Amino acid sequence: MDAAVRELSYSQAIQEAMAIAMEADERVILMGEDIGVYGGAFQVTGDLVERFGPDRVMDTPISELGGAGVAVGAAVTGLRPIFEFQFSDFATLGMEQIVNQAAKMRFMLGGEVSVPVVMRFPAGSGTGAAAQHSQSLEAWLAHVPGLKVIQPATPHDVKGMLLAAVADPDPVMIFEHKLLYKMKGPVPEGHYTVPIGKAEVRREGRDLTIVATSIMVHKALEAAETLAGEGIDIEVIDLRTIRPIDRETVIESVKKTSRLMCVYEAVKTLGIGAEISAMIAESEAFDYLDAPIVRLGGAETPIPYNPELEKAAVPQVPGIVAAARDLAKGVR
């Protein structure tokens, strides 16, 4: 490994990105509940309050609507706030400011203002946090014109995409799967960006395309390795951004493999897999399909507290293997 590339955890990569942004631009501020002395609900902000002071790392009251509103207002007045929701589920409490204010101000004011706010959402199941603290609501926000919605799957990407988000003139929503926080990977030192709106082919293959998001990228890669032993060659695409979607990368992959499966943790109905499926059906790639598109999403249920039921409610590697095997062999 290059000496300039170190192993950082996903949460360390986020903290480093925020520190770099704050050092480079005094307009960058952090806001959120318990992000100061406590260091954040998942200890992501860490000691940044000691490094930059309480005027730039600000604890907000227990009101997601109020905190999000202040962040949007700060962005309109020239600051570049990064606002942390303790759990992505709490976006429901801030939807007025996210959907009706941040997403629409540039349009409604004729382009005279920008809203350079970044909102961070710890998302997903797997921590035993039950139905109100384990949801994947990224498709809700991706439905709204004016917002950019990203789901980095690696420490490298979360640092680069967060730095790209801070520099973006429009609101960027970043969904961080909670189980990724401890995952380690190579992260270059210093400032770099990963483009918003560009997918990444994590594994090339010829028999089947799996388009995955967030933690499901890693599960899809594990499934692909298992199936490689059976002679089934899987291409895995890490979507990374769900608004705007990288149409070209997905379409070209499907034209090559002629089969498509979408894997995501959110509830299957009306999830990102539905949009990907429709996109392919409306594109030239449709004529290349040799089998119906398969969506593998979460169960139609709130996330259970029981750990075994919690696992059963979202796609796991054995289920991805079985579904991909059937699709590749024409069983579906």
Residue 34, sorted as left (phi over 0), alpha (psi -120 to 50) or beta, turns out to be left
Nearest by Cα to 178 from 308, 97, 265: 265
- Per-residue pLDDT tens over the stretch 122-153: 999 999 999 999 999 999 999 999 999 999 99
Identify the pLDDT of residue 125: 96
Residue 195 resides in a domain: no
Asked if residue 148 and residue 47 are part of one domain, the reply reads yes
- Per-residue pLDDT tens over the stretch 219-256: 999 999 999 999 999 999 999 999 999 999 999 999 99
Is residue 1 pLDDT above 50, yes or no?
no
CB neighbours of residue 287 within 10 Å: 8
Residue 193 resides in a domain: no
Is residue 216 pLDDT above 50, yes or no?
yes
- Per-residue pLDDT tens over the stretch 184-204: 999 999 999 999 999 999 999
Identify the pLDDT of residue 308: 96
Report the domain count for the chain.
2
Nearest by Cα to 148 from 249, 237, 240, 56: 240
Q: Tell me the CB-side half-sphere exposure of residue 242, using CA atoms within 13 A.
A: 31
Residue of 16, 33, 84, 133 marked catalytic? 133
208-212 vs 260-267, strand pairing mode: parallel
- Give percent of the chain with pLDDT exceeding 90: 96
Identify the pLDDT of residue 2: 55
Respond yes or no: is residue 191 known to be catalytic.
no
Asked if residue 273 and residue 178 are part of one domain, the reply reads no
Identify the pLDDT of residue 5: 72
Q: What is the mean pLDDT of residues 146-172?
A: 98
Residue 107 resides in a domain: yes
Residue of 64, 235, 265, 310 marked catalytic? 64
Asked if residue 228 and residue 173 are part of one domain, the reply reads no
- Per-residue pLDDT tens over the stretch 33-77: 999 989 999 999 999 999 999 999 999 999 999 999 999 999 999
Respond yes or no: is residue 218 known to be catalytic.
no
**What is the domain-level CATH number for residue 89?**
3.40.50.970
Taking the model in full, what pTM does it have?
A: 0.95
Asked if residue 211 and residue 182 are part of one domain, the reply reads no
Nearest by Cα to 235 from 272, 276, 201: 201
Identify the pLDDT of residue 330: 82
Identify the pLDDT of residue 174: 98
Residue 170 resides in a domain: yes
Categorize the per-residue pLDDT at 85 as very low, low, confident or very high, splitting at 50, 70 and 90. Answer: very high
For helices 317-328 and 215-228, the axis angle rounded to 10 degrees is 50
Residue 194 resides in a domain: no
